[in-house]
Amino acid sequence: MIASVAVVGQENNPLYLQSFIDGDDALKFHYIVHSSLDIIEEKVNNPKKPGVSLNETYLGLLYPTEDYRVFGYLSNTKIKFILVTTDQDVRDADVRNFFHRFHAAYVEAASNPFHVPGKRITATAFTERVTNIVKSFGASSLA
């Protein structure tokens, strides 16, 4: 199950953060997202394995915590996408598929002439799309 998702801008400015777990977890997720930014930075600047995977947008598992697994994705335009799940065992294909759709939803939102680059995404169409993508996470194995 997805606990929360986030989109973070080029200057590490939050563009979108949504939690899908009831309760007072907002602060905790802010913290998780914040910590994952450093890991993304590190992964991109000091890749352990040089080669083709160097510039792949999908960054894989960023770090596991006791309760969550955190995944990352970095677009060509340096927009960071973060996924926090409660499942300890998540299929790689599902995560990739999720980011693919999440990124596509962001691109549509950024194409709205009234979206201000670097500012929070407030369009309801984006929120609805993300909610649908989150709901269908893992439901199909289509990549």
Partner 1 sequence: MPGGGREVAESCVDSLNLELVATYCKRLHPNKPELAARRIEAIGYQVGLQLAERYTKERPRFADHLEAIKFICKDFWAEVFRKQVDNLKTNHRGVFVLQDNKFRWLTRISVDSAPPGEAAQMDVNAAANASRASQAAGQYLYFPCGLIRGALTNLGVACAVSAEVSTLPACSFVVRVKV
Partner 2 sequence: MAPPTRAGDYPFAPVDRVNAELFTLTYGAIVRQLLTDFEEVEEVNKQLDTMGYNIGVRLIDDFLAKSNITRCSEFKDTAEVIAKVGFKMFLGVSATVSNWSADGSECSLILDDNPLADFVELPDTCQGLFYCNILCGVIRGALEMVSMRTEVKFVKDMLRGDDAFEIRLKLLEQVAEEYPYKDDE
- 117 in contact with partner 2 (CB under 8 A): no
Joined together, the tokens standing for residue 100 give: 């693919």
Q: Distance between CA atoms of 87 and 67, rounded to whole angstroms?
A: 8
The answer to whether 120 and 14 have CB atoms below 8 angstroms apart is yes
Number of residues that bind partner 1 (CB under 8 A): 16
The residue among 79 and 84 lying less far from partner 1, judged by its C-beta, is 79
Question: DSSP alpha helices (H): ranges in 4-113?
Answer: 26-45, 92-110
**Binding partner of residue 117 among partner 1, partner 2, none, CB cut-off 5 to 8 Å per kind:** partner 1
- Helices then strands, counting H and E runs in the chain, come out as 3, 5
Q: Name which position in 10, 65, 88, 112 contacts partner 2 (CB under 8 A).
A: 112
Q: Name which position in 21, 39, 110, 123 contacts partner 1 (CB under 8 A).
A: 110
The residue among 18 and 86 lying less far from partner 2, judged by its C-beta, is 18
